[in-house]
Amino acid sequence: MGIVETKNLVFEYIRRDEEGNVEGITRAVDDVNLSVGQGDFIAILGHNGSGKSTLAKHINAIHYPTEGTVWVDGKDTCEDANLWDIRQEAGMVFQNPDNQIIGQVVEEDVGFGPENLGVPTQEIWQRVEESLKAVGMYEFRKYSPNKLSGGQKQRVSIAGVIAMHPKCIVLDEPTAMLDPNGRREVIRAVRALNDVEEITIILITHYMEEIIYANKVFVMDKGKIAMEGSPKEIFSQVEKLKSLRLDVPQVTLLAHELRESGLAIPAGILTCEELVASLSAIRRRRGWG
Amino acid sequence: MSIILDHVSHVYEAGTAMEFAALKDINLVIPDGQFIGLIGHTGSGKSTLVQHLNGLLAPTGGNIYYNGADIHDNDYNKKELRSKVGLVFQYPEHQLFEIDVFSDVCFGPKNLGLDKKEVELRSYAALKQVGLEDEYFYQSPFDLSGGQKRRVAIAGVLAMQPEVLILDEPTAGLDPKGRDEILDQIARLREETGMTVILVSHSMEDVAKYVDRIIVMNKGQVMFDNEPREVFRHYRELEEVGLAAPQVTYIMQELKKSGFDVDTDIITIEEARRAILDALK
């Protein structure tokens, strides 16, 4: 069994009026079967309201399934006895860092998680140092979090999760507010955690260029998994992605437009090097012809 | 008519251990009707700068003039300034609070002391300008999707009928289609009304596509102030301060290195497509 498994997962929000009568039911997650192996880098895409955040919140037992089952490291999230293990093993980083920071000083905030796990003091400091260095915030360790900008706070939040030494980190649009450099640093840190520490990554994002490193991409629409495959397979389908309110990286879009204009470029180009190589091949062929 | 910043500085907590100069000697002229992109890494002073433009923050040095009057003169009407210079904060939907969408948009113009009919006409027009359908007007704003909430919040500022609209990362957290829809609507609105728009953004691709002028902030100073094409020519300096050129510009650089005869100052996909097709002819 993988680190995260879901079987026929359904989640419904019940909307009630002021008297508590049921006004309607919204099915936010609809029959999702997901299998994530230990050490995988998974990306989940989907437009606003497609159900991806609701799905993510099942992975560390913030939401419980209405129907179906979710297992984290083989443990059913519905069983109370598993709750603490699951919350430590599957860390979560949310979009808005202001909702996640509680410490008066950056290093205290990062140490809060391991402290609650009962980690010895000396090791807490080690973990705080490693975690802050991993996100490039070590020089700010003595700062008050409310003196930091949004992007800096987000990196502190990520450090706070890393310090818990989770097996799996779920990041729900962690870069939505960062500048290009901040985004690069966060994604680089996330990739390093995946490559070096073999922490499983589940990345939810609206930035298409962030997912090209994933082993597998899921695209959600109306609570269901609408597409699933490698980044190349997903990005080969430019029109389908657009119909799901999504997009492709600029290099993929340019390659697609050139294909539409009649150039023989393969579908699903993900990097600048690939595009340059295939244009060079076309030029050589034309030169010889 | 314009906004002029004359040697504007802002120091937070001057005289304490936490003293921090967020703006250092800024000189800018913002004429009517421009579409300006304001970029800079987190902490570069962008947000501090825009909060000076409608008087939310007062400079600790220098002066700000709106249409020729110093906005920090004792007899200057700040309330009027704030209706003329509309500021849409990051995640503006967190500020929605009313019982339904229409009442929320009415809140701003109502506080300008306008009569009820004028308030409602303006609010209706503003909701139409952001492309929200009538069926949502009497729903709770909290039942809407992220993109719709964002539009309601923008409509709340538009209903004040500002001459200058400042948007601080208006597309953060929206899906790609939602991003394009909001920015297209803002661009259309600017064409129709001729208002000045200042877009604070972290997306170089968006800035390249929409604005006529880019102001780059770094460490509280203006680093570049020019047309997008000219600014992105300095991509190496931009990278040093945590920014970048649009992805497509890098593609053109790589093609040039591989011997293709293309311009390297291209900043949009459409230009790139045409240049590549020409180079392969």
Question: pLDDT tens-digit profile of B15-36?
Answer: 888 888 999 999 999 999 999 9
Backbone angles phi, psi at B55, to 5 degrees: 75, 15
Which has the minimum average pLDDT: A120-129, A174-183, B232-241? Answer: A174-183
**Which of B202, B268, B280 should one mutate to test binding to chain A, selecting the residue with the greatest count of A CBs within 10 A?**
B202
pTM as predicted = 0.84
CB-based contact A168:A89 (threshold 8 Å): yes
Class of domain A4-231: alpha beta
Interface ipTM? 0.82
CA B4/CA B30 separation, integer angstroms: 6
Q: Does B17 touch chain A (CB under 8 A)?
A: no
Q: Who among A246, A257, A283 is closest to B269 (CB)?
A: A257
Q: Who among A95, A275, A283 is closest to B173 (CB)?
A: A95
Are the beta carbons of B269 and A254 separated by less than 8 Å?
A: yes
Are the beta carbons of B173 and A178 separated by less than 8 Å?
A: no
Look-up of token digits 């360790």:
A141
CB-based contact A215:A201 (threshold 8 Å): no
Are the beta carbons of B172 and A242 separated by less than 8 Å?
A: no
Q: Which part of chain A has CATH 3.40.50.300?
A: 4-231
CB-based contact B42:A178 (threshold 8 Å): yes
Per-residue pLDDT, A135:
78
CB within 8 Å of B101: residues ≥ 6 apart: B127, B132, B136, B137, B138, B139, B140, B141, B144, B152
pLDDT at A157 over 70: yes
pLDDT at B121 over 90: yes
**What is the residue-averaged pLDDT of chain A?**
90
CB-based contact B216:B26 (threshold 8 Å): no
CA B211/CA A208 separation, integer angstroms: 23
CB within 8 Å of B119: residues ≥ 6 apart: B106, B109, B110, B159
Q: Does B206 touch chain A (CB under 8 A)?
A: no
Selection from A11, A170, A190 nearest residue A86 by Cα? A170
CA A250/CA B247 separation, integer angstroms: 6
Strands A90-93 and A168-172: parallel
CA A211/CA A217 separation, integer angstroms: 8
Q: Does B281 touch chain A (CB under 8 A)?
A: no
**Strand partners for B164:** B85, B196
Q: What is the pLDDT of residues B166-188, one digit of tens each?
A: 999 898 888 888 889 899 999 99
Are the beta carbons of A250 and B269 separated by less than 8 Å?
A: yes
pLDDT at A282 over 80: yes
Q: Residue B43: pLDDT band by 50, 70, 90 thresholds?
A: confident
Q: What is the pLDDT of residues A175-204, one digit of tens each?
A: 887 777 778 878 888 888 888 878 899 999
Strands A216-221 and A41-46: parallel
Locate the chain A residue with the closest alpha carbon to B200. Answer: A179
Are the beta carbons of A247 and B177 separated by less than 8 Å?
A: yes
Q: Which residues of B touch A276 (CB under 8 A)?
A: 251, 254-255, 258
Q: Who among A49, A96, A254 is closest to B251 (CB)?
A: A254
CB-based contact B187:B10 (threshold 8 Å): no
Long-range contacts of B115-119 (CB under 8 A, 24+ apart): B119/B159
**Which of A94, A137, A179 should one mutate to test binding to chain B, selecting the residue with the greatest count of B CBs within 10 A?**
A179
Alpha helices in chain A (DSSP H): 52-59, 83-89, 106-116, 121-134, 150-162, 180-195, 231-235, 238-243, 250-260, 272-288
Query: Tokens in use for A26?
Result: 């919204």
- The mean pLDDT of B189-195, rounded to a whole number, is 92
CA B164/CA B149 separation, integer angstroms: 22
Q: What is the pLDDT of residues A50-74, one digit of tens each?
A: 999 899 999 989 999 999 999 999 9
Give whole-number Cα distances, B63 to A244, B11, B226, in Å.
49, 14, 23
Q: Does B246 touch chain A (CB under 8 A)?
A: yes
Backbone angles phi, psi at B75, to 5 degrees: -95, 15
Name the 3-class secondary structure at A161: helix
Locate the chain A residue with the closest alpha carbon to B140. Answer: A17
Per-residue pLDDT, A150:
67
Euclidean distance between the first and the last CA atom of chain A, given in angstroms as a whole number: 55
Strands A224-229 and A4-16: unpaired
Q: Which residues of A touch B37 (CB under 8 A)?
A: none
Query: Tokens in use for B51?
Result: 């909060």
Per-residue pLDDT, A288:
55
Query: Tokens in use for A247?
Result: 């997009």
Q: Does B219 touch chain A (CB under 8 A)?
A: no
Per-residue pLDDT, A289:
46
| Cα four-point dihedral sign B21, B25, B29, B35 | negative
CB within 8 Å of B97: residues ≥ 6 apart: B104
Locate the chain B residue with the closest alpha carbon to A94. Answer: B173
Per-residue pLDDT, B124:
95
Instruction: Please name the residues between 117 and 146 in chain B that touch chain A, using a CB distance below 8 Å.
Output: 145-146
CB-based contact B145:B67 (threshold 8 Å): no
